[in-house]
Amino acid sequence: MSSSSQITSLLIKWSDGDNDALNDVYPLIERELRQIASRHIFNLRPGDTMQTTAVIDEAYLRLNGQRHIVWKNRSHFFAIASHMMRRVILNHIRDRNRQKRGGAVIHISLPDNLFAENRHVEFLELEEVLDRLDAIEPRQCRVVEMKFFGGYTSEEIAKALDRSVITIDRDWKFAKTWLEKELSK
């Protein structure tokens, strides 16, 4: 059985209530989770206390607590895991900013392929803009999350979201334009 189908099989068992399946699947997914977490925290300021392992551990705990998700495949799992990692980092930043009066603002560099010009944006500002996009176009928000934070290709996103590659590419184009407009206000 290939690693991908083995992962999908274990995720489905976990969805069906087999709690041991999550422990069985973890060694198979740990490396990719580490890569996703690294992409999430790559642009945090130097010296930030957030570590890849901490992001993975917190996301793992949150995933382990999920009882209502029916996993479709490994891409679906990694999309949800990436979203949870983003939330873990966001909570970390908000907690740190609350602890310090006027806490430090964290800026991130958006990838070159996101906009025509490389931009730096405050992490919390990006989060607010993504929340607004999620409210009006949830699928397009997932596409941005998966491309930007997860590093997924259009083909992988299409599989995870059960859409065509053409639809994903159209969503990406719209979302990039919308984000650029919102972030330049």
Collapsing DSSP to helix, strand or coil, 93 comes out as helix
Q: Under a CB-based contact definition with an 8 Å cutoff, are residues 37 and 52 in contact?
A: yes
Instruction: Pinpoint the alpha helices (H) of 42-137.
Output: 52-64, 74-99, 123-136
Residues 175, 163, 17: CA angle, nearest 5 degrees: 110
Residue 39 in tokens: 């992409």
Residue 71 in tokens: 């996993």
Look-up: residue for tokens 């719209």? 174
Give 2-35 as a DSSP string: -HHHHHHHHHHHHHTT-HHHHHHHHHHHHHHHHH
For the chain, the domain total comes to: 1
Q: Which residues pair with 120 in a beta bridge?
A: 109
Collapsing DSSP to helix, strand or coil, 107 comes out as strand
Maximum CA pair distance of the chain?
54
Q: Which of 93, 116, 98, 135 is nearest to 183 (CA)?
A: 116
The structure's pTM equals 0.64
Instruction: Spell out the per-residue pLDDT of the chain, length 185, in tens.
Output: 558 888 889 888 888 888 788 788 888 888 889 888 888 777 665 556 678 888 888 888 888 777 677 888 888 888 888 888 888 888 877 777 665 545 555 555 555 455 544 455 666 777 888 888 989 998 998 898 888 777 788 998 898 888 999 999 999 999 888 888 888 77
Backbone angles phi, psi at 120, to 5 degrees: -110, 135
Domain that holds residue 138: 3-183
